[in-house]
Amino acid sequence: MSRPIRILELRSVRGTGGGPEKTILLGAALADRRFHVTVCYLRDRRDEAFGVTERAKNTAVDYIEILERHSLDPSVWFELRDLVRDRHIDVVHAHDYKTDLLAWLLGRVTGVCTLSTVHGWTGHSTRERLGYYPADKWVLARFPRLIAVSSDIRNELVRHGADPSRITTVLNGIDHRRCRRDRSRETEMRASLGLAAGDVVIGAVGRLEPQKRFDLLLDAFAALNARRPKTRLVIVGEGSQRGPLEARRGALKLENSCTLLGHVADVAPAHHAFDLFVQSSDYEGTPNAVLEAMALETPIVATDVGGTAELVEDGVHGRIVPPGDIHRLNGAIESLLADRTRAAAMAVNARRRVENELSFESRVRRVEAIYEEIAANA
């Protein structure tokens, strides 16, 4: 193909989004000149918290939005169909259950090649668990090509009928050049969060949703804080569970030692205040929050869910514990706080891993190879 291969990255999300937004926007920004990438987000007109627009403005990405009057607005289909035809799109790359369906239909109607990156099924509503997600897995089994962000997700796709030969597992990556710890900023960041020099700070990052199990982390921290009064917990993120978590924090009398920081566009500065990063989730795809902690040399304790253990080898890059086990979670936190030399060595190993094996640039090149393969076989 003499002209660039034209890619349409297609995504639907509410609010500030999550890890996939980082992957999509940065991937488009780093695209090789052999590709022209358009990033298209479906945006509900009623969503006042939508945050992707501002993030996209800070990049050189070709970014557009299609506005929906409501979640099932039929006009979206016609706008997407015209977009694919007018821009001579070669590959529509979907990223969630709604755009999976739209991409599949676009492929059938227009003949455009279709691909989905499957980030996982992290929602918790009954409608998602019993309706949207089973339907999505049915649709994905009929896609010509799929990217799974972890082996767990790949295996789930195969269980639901996807052809294993059509699935490529590509772990998430991180731009380690932009994401680097600066020790000179640690005192400044602690002060900005109201933390004292002698505080031992545990950080957590993620949407405040049930699957992240910040309730479990609060309970674990309460027991730790009773033994180590100088420990502090900072949770970065926003979501539907803020109210219940604030109530739980109050019931545990942790108002003075636990901060719910809310949504932060750039998490990297907060890591400069952390002595330890904890992921307590029941479910993940391949968590960008863990990759950020690895790149920023924050020692890690994380649950063995999704692709986490594919990023972090237990005892080498951090500690991995079973999900839902408060005693194992607390024990791993205690062990790294008690042996700071060992924790620092693991953090150095984790940084080396993202530099050598989990760099975002390597991930982009792997995905671009799939684009070329799809275009060549079209």
| 3-class DSSP assignment, residue 301 | strand
Show the beta-strand stretches assigned E in 155-275.
167-169, 200-205, 231-236, 258-262
pLDDT at residue 71, as a whole number: 84
Model pLDDT for residues 217-241, shown as the tens digit of each residue: 999 999 999 999 999 999 999 999 9
Rounded to whole angstroms, the Cα distance separating 267 from 355 reads 19
pLDDT at residue 45, as a whole number: 92
Rounded to whole angstroms, the Cα distance separating 116 from 107 reads 12
pLDDT at residue 285, as a whole number: 85
- Name residues of the chain where pLDDT drops below 70: 1
Model pLDDT for residues 109-129, shown as the tens digit of each residue: 999 999 999 998 877 778 888
| 3-class DSSP assignment, residue 337 | helix
Rounded to whole angstroms, the Cα distance separating 80 from 265 reads 29
DSSP 104-153: HHHHHHH--EEEEEE------SHHIIIIIHHHHHHHHTT-S-EEESSHHH
At residue 146, what is the residue type?
L
What structural domains does the chain harbor?
5-173+359-376 (3.40.50.2000), 183-356 (3.40.50.2000)
pLDDT at residue 1, as a whole number: 61
Rounded to whole angstroms, the Cα distance separating 51 from 104 reads 27
Rounded to whole angstroms, the Cα distance separating 137 from 139 reads 5
Which residues lie closer than 8 Å to 212 by C-beta, 6 or more apart? 206, 237, 239, 241, 280, 281, 282
Among candidate residues 146, 175, 172, the one with its CA nearest the CA of residue 161: 146
